[in-house]
Amino acid sequence: MKLCMDLHTHTISSGHAYSTLHENIAAAKAEGLSILGMSDHGPGMPGGPDAIYFRNFKCIPRRYGELRLVCGAEANIMDYEGRLDLEDSVLEKLDYVIASMHILCVAPGTMAENTAASVRAMRNPFVRILGHPDDSRYPLNREEIVLAAKEEGVAIEINNASLHPKSARKGGRENILELLALCAKHRTPVLLGTDSHICDTIGHFEETLKLLSETDFPEELVLNTRPENLERILERKGF
């Protein structure tokens, strides 16, 4: 399976990541990607950049030779209402937004609370991707999540870093298998993301690809396979 985009990557600006934007760009080119997304954490994450960081993306070129760059954020879901840590006046300036739950930003609630938080975040018109809904520390009704994503035209992320043996998230493998089964059942596309915190992992989806082949996941439901799917994600047109 040829994959052309990685929309979940961090730079040193996230506070706990280790490469610069230009190092990430070079790595994406070396991996043969045609699209790279920069998605640093929002300010709710300790060490994360202030809102002004996201307001100034106008100064960043969106093309580096053959590589298209899109500049977004991994906004933190801050409560069970699905509120994010960046205001709409910032979100509207971004090329795209990933919304994710992180232990340092929102305490795990009940399955109903976590699911409500995720669904409400997806209803935010600026959100394009739901990040890593694969963490056993946040019990989720994943069928509800998949159906809401389909209805809202939000991409469900399959996060390669959740499959890392040292990932802080728990239960990645079984939860991703559940997500893949539900997405296949409901014909809901998925977006693979590396969640790179260093340039070396950009474009490396190996662990995810193993699961896709184990489960015979339909290739046409993998958004990363076609560059034109980027517009569907950015414009939230549905899939």
**Which spans of this chain sit near Zn ion (rule: CB under 5 A)?**
74, 100, 131, 195
Least separation, in Å, of the C-beta of 191 and Zn ion? Answer: 13
Nearest 10 degrees: CA dihedral of 221, 6, 98, 17? 150
Toward Zn ion, which CB reaches closer, 129 or 221?
129
Toward Zn ion, which CB reaches closer, 12 or 214?
12
CA distances from 81 to 86, 96, 167, 223, 230 (A): 14, 21, 26, 28, 28
> Tokens 């014909």 — which residue?
187
Least separation, in Å, of the C-beta of 18 and Zn ion? Answer: 13
Toward Zn ion, which CB reaches closer, 161 or 183?
161
Toward Zn ion, which CB reaches closer, 133 or 189?
133
Distance CA(162)–CA(132), nearest Å, equals 7
Tokens of 133: 């809904």
Tokens of 138: 């946040």
Least separation, in Å, of the C-beta of 26 and Zn ion? Answer: 20
Least separation, in Å, of the C-beta of 66 and Zn ion? Answer: 25
Toward Zn ion, which CB reaches closer, 43 or 131?
131
Distance CA(57)–CA(39), nearest Å, equals 12
Helix (H, G, I), strand (E, B) or coil at 75: strand
Tokens of 84: 């994010």
Least separation, in Å, of the C-beta of 131 and Zn ion? Answer: 5
Distance CA(232)–CA(207), nearest Å, equals 26
Point out which residues pair with 67 in neighbouring strands: 64
Toward Zn ion, which CB reaches closer, 170 or 186?
170
| Angle at CA of residue 114, ends 18 and 100, nearest 5° | 25
Tokens of 58: 């106008």
Element (H or E) spanning 64, and its range?
strand 63-64
Least separation, in Å, of the C-beta of 168 and Zn ion? Answer: 10
Least separation, in Å, of the C-beta of 31 and Zn ion? Answer: 18
Toward Zn ion, which CB reaches closer, 189 or 193?
193
Of 52, 28, 51, 50, nearest to 38 by C-alpha is 28
Tokens of 132: 């890593």
